[in-house]
Every structure is written in structure tokens, then in C-alpha cells.
Amino acid sequence: MHSLLPLLLLGWWCLRLTATTNADNLKFYITTECSNNMNYTRGSAFQANLDAILSSLPDAAAASSGFAENTTGAAAPDKAYGLAQCRGDVGASDCRSCLNDTAHEMASACPGQKNAMLIYEGCMLRYSNASFFGDPYTSNPIFQLANNENA
Ligand SMILES: *[C@@H]1O[C@H](CO)[C@@H](O)[C@H](O)[C@H]1NC(C)=O
Ligand SMILES: *[C@@H]1O[C@H](CO)[C@@H](O)[C@H](O)[C@H]1NC(C)=O
Ligand SMILES: *[C@@H]1O[C@H](CO)[C@@H](O)[C@H](O)[C@H]1NC(C)=O
Ligand SMILES: *[C@@H]1O[C@H](CO)[C@@H](O)[C@H](O)[C@H]1NC(C)=O
């Protein structure tokens, strides 16, 4: 019986992946990570660059297979780095809409913070005042998700 468990789990995961391709589940919330007390100054050039990048990333990612990185501003402390990614099976229009919602939620998810990441089932958005492109993400990479179906 024990040897069946991995197969059952794999089956559940496949079913779950198939069941989550509709637009509503794409906004299933996974996690938020905010910097602690690394506040930017309200009305600063950094905030303007951050706003610009958050509003351009959804279209950019939707137009290039669900992934985009970009920066705005010439140099620190004004420069903002942003990354947007959609789950691989999410189409361009759902990708844009998931990221657009996420971009609008950033300000309330991590108010005033220089670093933030917001992850939903269908898409993730991350920004920082420092470059993180190509760096492995090592803090808190483990999430637990419960199956909400009857077994
Ligand atoms: C990067 O962001 C800027 C500001 O929003 C935008 O003008 C530019 O087109 C973006 N570049 C790419 C490659 O998306
Ligand atoms: C982006 O999201 C905002 C707020 O959720 C909404 O008002 C706006 O219509 C959306 N824009 C697009 C292009 O989906
Ligand atoms: C940072 O901004 C948040 C939200 O506006 C605020 O609650 C917090 O007190 C600020 N922290 C500092 C150190 O300014
Ligand atoms: C980002 O902001 C933090 C906190 O203010 C600061 O310590 C760090 O030097 C900044 N990084 C860059 C590249 O400006």
C-alpha cells in the first residue's frame, strides 16, 4: 500500500494541474514575501520607476510566452528591477490579467517596501531596488498546500 502513495500523490497533482487551468483558480493565492522596514520614500524617483515597471510587466510577459524582466531608472537608489512570470500553460490573455491584478495588489501587499514578491497559482510578480536576476531564491522556498477535494 505504501508503494502506491507516490503514484496517488502524482495522480492528485496531475488532476490538480488540469483542474486549475480556468481563469478563476489562477488567482488562487499562494504567498507574499515583503522586505521588513526597507521603505522607499513616498513620491521618490524610485517609486515612480517602480510604478512604471509594475504597469509595463504584465503586457511584456503576456507578449513573450509568460516571462519578462525589466529595469527602470539609471542607477541606485532610483533604479527598480522587476520580474513577471506566468505558469507555463497559462495563455497570453489570462497571463496579462493575472499579472495586472497582482501588480495592482502589490502596493497593499507590501506597502512602501523596496523588495516584494507576490505569488498566485497562475502568475508571480517580484520587484526590488537591487538586482536579483538569475540569482537563486533561497529564503523561504517551501510552501504547503492542502488539497480541498474529498478523498
Ligand atoms: C521596460 O520598462 C519601461 C518602463 O515601463 C518600458 O518603457 C520598456 O518598454 C520596457 N522594456 C521592455 C523590454 O519591456
Ligand atoms: C488592471 O487591473 C485594474 C485593477 O484590478 C483594473 O481596473 C484594470 O481595468 C485592469 N487593466 C487591464 C488591462 O486588465
Ligand atoms: C514603512 O511603511 C509602512 C507602510 O506605510 C509603515 O507601516 C512602516 O511604519 C514604515 N516603516 C518605516 C521604518 O518607515
Ligand atoms: C536597497 O535598499 C536597501 C535598504 O535601504 C539598501 O541597504 C541597499 O543598499 C539598496 N540596494 C541598492 C542596490 O541600492
Q: What are 101's three cell numbers?
A: 491584478
Look at residue 144 and tell me if it is in a domain: no
Look at residue 141 and tell me if it is in a domain: no
Pocket test for ligand 3, best of 34, 36, 38, 39 (most atoms within 8 A of CB): 39
Number of domains in the chain: 1
Look at residue 142 and tell me if it is in a domain: no
Q: Residue 98 is which amino acid?
A: C
C-alpha 138 to ligand 4 mean position (Å): 19
The model's pLDDT over 78-99, given as tens digits with 9 standing for 90+, comes to: 999 999 999 999 999 999 999 9
The model's pLDDT over 10-19, given as tens digits with 9 standing for 90+, comes to: 444 444 544 4
- The total of other beta-carbon atoms located within 10 Å of residue 43's CB is 8
What's the whole-model pTM score?
Answer: 0.82
- CATH number for the domain spanning 114: value is 3.30.430.20
Is a pLDDT exceeding 60 seen at residue 140? yes
- Asked whether the CA dihedral 105, 101, 74, 139 is positive or negative, the reply is positive
